[in-house]
Every structure is written in structure tokens, then in C-alpha cells.
């Protein structure tokens, strides 16, 4: 029925207060599985370097009792030097500028606009770092007009690699080549690559996938049966730890790594080395505003890529 004649309503009222909830809802994810699973170290130069080494292959080793090595004609084995490795430190940065007025006016959901925006930028740069570290880019020393770039995870793999036809490993100066055609992930691929990592001396403890291939792994049978907890009515359909012949491997989905890549990581063999750790910088005032910056200068240290592996060129949908 129509409203009573001359009924004063909100449609014509002046001065009604706004009703804005004092909470800001943000569902953007900030989890960084790779960055959160590896240790950090300190870099002391733009080119961060380290060394790798390996033992001689195991072999039959028997000598005559009382044998003297220092005899004429004895052949000493050649000493194999260490391998010198390196990666370029990359600078990642987020800037904020807020007018003096906006920072002090009464706002819903936050008190200081500057503090709120700086917290956002800190979370954003963490996402950027995860995206860069797990990506597929070659190192670049940069120059006065070109930003330096680190060699990321996908470009490091050389030893334990499962690629589709046409795919190729990366180098220090070139990213890995993606195959033109992708293929479905299988449990046989996973078992084979885990075995290769173990034979090479690694012990992968983390399997990192994109969201689609996490669901594919949860479909692996592995000689197990999905179970239901009768007490709380929960049906377990996901696999979060994969037990292979070579150990237990935690499985995580990463929102920022490439879904086409499945990483089998010995996390003890990877580090993020900081030339300048993540820091907040107050920039000089140049007017009626506040300026701030979040900055990190860092690189990826591959202590020995042969301890890990990759299954690349995977389909990202069913």
C-alpha cells in the first residue's frame, strides 16, 4: 500500500548519517609458501656468489696391506675444484604518497591513511617476491636504464627435469623454454622425478604446485584409500603429505607460482639472500603530503639445484 500523505521519509531527509562499517574486508591472499619454507642469508654485493661441490662416485676400493702411496708411477686422482655460482640481486619496491588532509580526516576502517597504505604495500611486495622467486626469468645485470633481475626458480633446474617435447632448461642468461604443448600430470611422473632427486643426493621435502595440479595430486591413489571420520563426519579427499619410497613430502598449492610447473624441492638447498632486507623508508616531504616506501634487495641462492626437480609443461585445467 502507498505511504501516508506527507510522510517524511529518508528519500527527502537531509542530514542522515552514513552507515559505513568500521572494517575493511580484503580477501587478497598473502601466503607465500616458497618464501616461507626457505631460510634467508646475507648478500654483500650486487652479484651474490657461493660454491657447490660433490663427492666422487662410490666405487670398489681395495688396496694391498702395507701399500705406500708415495711410490714411483703411482697415479694420484685429479682434484676437482668447487663450482662457483652466482645470482644478481633484484630491487623490489612499493611507493605511497598521501595528502596531509587525507591522513587526518576521520575515516571508516582505519585511523591513519598512511599507515594503512604502507601495510598494504608491505603485503603486496611479499606477493611480488613470491611471484618473482618462483617464476621463470633469467638473471640480468642491468644498467642505468634497465632494472637488475635475479635468476628465478624455474631457470635453475638442470639435473632432475621432466619436460614435454620442445621444452628446454634455462641458463644464467636465458629463462627455461616452455613446450608448446602441455600434458596431464601423472603419479608416474612424480615417482620418477622424486627418485631422480634422491639418486642425485637430494631429499625433497616440499612439493609445490599450482591450484589445479594440487587437485590432480589429491586424485592419486598411491595404494591408499580415502577415509571418512565418522565422529565429525569429515570426508578426507585431499593429499597434503605424499609418502614415497624416498621420504615424506609436504604438498602445498601456491597462488603465485606457475600452475604449469610442479616443483619438488629440497628446501635446505634454497635460500633468499638479502642485500637489503625488507624495510620501510620515510621519504622526504616535498609538499603537503606524506611519502613512504617499502623496499627489498634480494636474490635466490641455489645451493645445489641437483637436490630438487621440476615436472614442467603441465596442463592447468581438466
- The per-residue pLDDT for range 162-198, each reduced to its tens digit, is 999 999 999 999 999 999 999 999 999 999 999 999 9
Judge whether residue 232 has pLDDT over 70: no
Is position 247 within any domain?
A: yes
- Phi-psi label, residue 233: left if phi above 0, alpha if psi -120 to 50, beta otherwise: left
Domains held by the chain: number: 1
Ranked by mean pLDDT, the top range of 71-75, 151-155, 234-238 is 151-155
| pLDDT of res. 216 | 95
pLDDT in tens, 291-318: 999 999 999 999 999 999 999 999 999 7
Residue with cell 602445498: 252
Q: What is the DSSP letter of 178?
A: P
Q: What does the pLDDT average to over 114-141?
A: 95
Is position 39 within any domain?
A: yes
Average pLDDT value over all residues in the chain: 89
Is position 12 within any domain?
A: no
Provide Rg for the chain, Cα atoms.
Answer: 28
Q: For residue 38, give its domain range.
A: 33-48+84-311
Q: How confident is the model at residue 8 (pLDDT cuts 50, 70, 90)?
A: low
| pLDDT of res. 63 | 81
Residue with cell 600434458: 183
Amino acid at each position: 500500500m502507498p505511504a501516508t500523505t506527507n510522510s517524511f521519509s529518508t528519500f527527502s531527509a537531509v542530514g542522515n548519517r552514513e552507515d559505513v562499517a568500521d572494517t575493511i574486508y580484503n580477501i587478497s591472499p598473502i601466503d607465500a609458501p616458497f618464501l616461507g619454507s626457505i631460510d634467508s642469508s646475507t648478500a654483500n654485493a650486487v652479484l651474490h656468489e657461493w660454491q657447490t661441490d660433490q663427492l666422487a662416485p662410490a666405487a670398489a676400493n681395495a688396496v694391498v696391506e702395507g701399500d705406500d702411496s708415495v711410490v714411483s708411477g703411482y697415479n694420484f686422482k685429479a682434484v676437482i675444484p668447487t663450482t662457483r655460482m652466482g645470482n644478481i640481486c633484484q630491487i623490489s619496491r612499493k611507493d605511497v604518497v598521501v595528502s596531509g588532509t587525507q591522513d587526518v580526516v576521520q575515516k571508516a576502517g582505519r585511523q591513519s591513511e598512511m599507515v594503512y597504505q604502507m601495510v598494504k604495500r608491505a603485503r603486496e611486495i611479499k606477493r611480488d617476491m613470491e611471484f618473482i622467486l618462483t617464476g621463470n626469468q633469467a638473471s640480468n645485470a642491468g644498467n642505468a636504464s634497465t632494472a637488475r633481475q635475479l635468476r628465478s626458480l624455474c631457470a635453475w633446474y638442470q639435473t632432475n627435469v621432466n619436460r614435454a617435447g620442445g621444452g628446454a632448461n634455462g641458463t644464467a642468461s636465458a629463462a627455461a623454454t616452455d613446450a608448446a604443448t602441455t600434458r596431464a600430470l601423472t603419479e608416474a611422473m612424480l615417482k620418477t622425478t622424486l627418485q631422480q632427486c634422491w639418486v642425485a643426493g637430494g631429499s625433497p621435502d616440499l612439493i609445490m604446485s599450482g591450484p589445479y595440479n594440487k587437485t590432480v595430486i589429491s586424485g592419486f591413489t598411491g595404494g591408499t584409500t580415502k577415509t571418512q571420520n565418522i565422529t565429525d563426519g569429515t570426508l578426507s579427499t585431499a593429499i597434503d603429505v605424499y609418502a614415497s619410497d624416498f621420504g615424506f613430502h609436504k604438498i602445498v598449492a601456491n597462488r603465485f607460482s606457475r600452475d604449469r610447473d610442479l616443483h619438488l624441492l629440497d628446501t635446505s638447498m634454497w635460500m633468499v639472500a638479502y642485500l637489503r632486507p625488507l624495510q620501510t623508508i620515510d621519504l622526504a616531504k616535498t609538499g603537503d603530503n606524506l611519502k613512504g616506501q617499502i623496499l627489498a634487495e634480494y636474490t635466490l641462492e641455489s645451493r645445489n639445484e641437483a637436490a630438487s626437480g621440476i615436472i614442467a609443461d603441465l596442463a592447468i585445467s581438466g
